[in-house]
């Protein structure tokens, strides 16, 4: 899949956009809920698809390391909270998966756009990742990012961060 879209709207130094979304358990989640912690937010196109599963499971596998570093994780896709819950339960994901059904948060992050899927041009989420510091300031952004590169890029950025 290749993507043709505008670059991510957020650049290092930008504050995390304000939003309020439901997670897989129906809880309202906002970035400010994580004030004082580093925050890794990744966007994926659709729960329970190959690439999205590989990406989310890879993040889950390093969750203990991330917790030790004070990093909280949020996954975001257009899926419903019910679909997010099935995804979390099926793959043992223990971090919030947020439902951005109207893709307003994806648009605020600059990751909603036209992309090529199996030779067809479609609108959707461009797989991306964003690392914010404890003050909610963007340190690093990857858009697009492949499922296999998400965790290595995140860990590299965390090692380089003060």
Contact criterion met (CB below 8 Å) for 150 and 53: no
Give me the numbers of helices (H) and strands (E) for the chain, helices first please.
Answer: 5, 9
Tokens 């858009």: give the residue.
143
Helix (H) or strand (E) holding 41: strand 38-43
Q: Is the dihedral of CA 149, 125, 48, 87 positive or negative?
A: positive
Q: Is 89 a catalytic residue?
A: no
CA 118, 46, 55: angle at the middle one, nearest 5? Answer: 95
Helix (H) or strand (E) holding 28: strand 28-29
Q: Which of the following is catalytic: 21, 52, 125, 138?
A: 52
Pair of tokens at residue 78: 């257009």
Catalytic positions, written as ranges: 52
């Amino acid at each position: 899949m290749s993507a043709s879209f505008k670059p991510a709207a957020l650049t290092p130094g930008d504050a995390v956009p304000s939003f309020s979304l439901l997670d897989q358990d129906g809880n309202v989640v906002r970035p400010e809920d994580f004030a004082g912690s580093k925050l890794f937010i990744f966007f994926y196109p659709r729960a329970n698809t190959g690439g999205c599963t590989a990406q989310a499971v890879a993040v889950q596998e390093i969750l203990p390391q991330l917790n030790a570093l004070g990093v909280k994780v949020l996954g975001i896709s257009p899926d419903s909270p019910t679909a997010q819950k099935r995804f979390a339960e099926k793959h043992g994901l223990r971090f919030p998966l947020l439902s951005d059904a109207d893709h307003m948060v994806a648009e605020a992050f600059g990751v909603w756009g036209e992309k090529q899927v199996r030779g067809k041009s479609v609108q959707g989420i461009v797989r991306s990742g964003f690392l914010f510091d404890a003050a909610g300031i963007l340190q690093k952004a990857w858009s697009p990012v492949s499922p296999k590169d998400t965790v290595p890029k995140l860990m590299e950025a965390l090692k380089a961060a003060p």
